[in-house]
Amino acid sequence: MKYFISLQRILLIRKYMKILKDTSIGEVVKFNYRTAMFFQEHDIDFCCGGKKTISEASKEVGFDTDEFIKNLESLARQADPDTAYINSLNLSELSEYIIKRHHRYVHDSIPILNKNLNKICDVHGEHHPELLEVNDLFTHSVGALIKHMQKEELMLFPYIQRLEQAFINKSELPGSPFGSVSNPIAMMIEDHQQEGDRFDQISKLTRKYKVPEDACTTYELALNQLKEFEIDLHRHIHLENNILFPKAIELEKKFM
């Protein structure tokens, strides 16, 4: 019951965000993930490009800024329990959530996607040579993502958890092999940008995962799986770039 009341309070408090022209995209999506749909519809990067302001984003896509804000505020007023839940987690809980929800999703998706992409390349590659490039991009992306997630699970996330525990216990700043937490975070953000760019290429090559007329069932399935993978990747990156990492950097500053 305590948790339910807490969650309801979060929903009530966060219902009335005032979005300004200089509000960052990341802050808007952090407030309510429903707004991510609007950014996606207009090809605006809300995860790796989360520091961009609403004014900058609206101008880039030729959208009236005031109308842009009205659309976002309309979405932000709609309750999103998932967002409220995420924002109620401490850093240790959030890092564990990312591992269980998003890292596991990546690992579970790779075998079937590899199998389906290889199959449609063999069957349709002659008439759709872009599939060969898509397959190559995906192979490189998942290889990089696996290494990236290992670094997070073995080094960065455990340090963030120790950092939080030290703050709670009012003890000294824990030692690390990489100095400030901002150092590995900068590397992780760079990795995120690289994989975001790779999936942007995949999306363009497939015309936003549009199924061609001569596609077989496996072809359609593979494109849908790739689209779902990209959607999950965007949310995964958003949780780290716009929530976990900034909070970890701010927490470390409290020791200084």
Write down the domain spans for the chain. Answer: 2-85, 90-253
Query: Residue type at 252?
Result: E
Q: What is the fold, at CATH topology level, of the domain defined by 2-85?
A: SP0561-like (1.10.3910)
Per-residue pLDDT of the chain (256 residues; tens, 9 = 90+): 333 434 444 444 445 678 999 999 989 999 998 898 889 888 898 888 888 999 999 998 999 999 999 999 888 888 888 888 998 999 999 999 999 999 999 999 999 999 999 999 999 999 999 999 999 999 999 999 999 999 999 999 999 999 999 999 999 999 999 999 999 999 999 999 999 999 999 999 999 999 999 999 999 999 999 999 999 999 999 999 999 999 999 999 999 7
DSSP-derived secondary structure for 141-202: HHHHHHHHHHHIIIIIHHHHHHHHHHHHHT-PPPP-TTSSTHHHHHHHHHHHHHHHHHHHHH
DSSP secondary-structure letter at 216?
-
* Encoded tokens for 109: 């998706």
For the entire predicted model, the pTM comes to 0.87
DSSP secondary-structure letter at 24?
B
Do 206 and 130 form a contact (C-beta atoms < 8 A)? yes
Do 94 and 100 form a contact (C-beta atoms < 8 A)? no
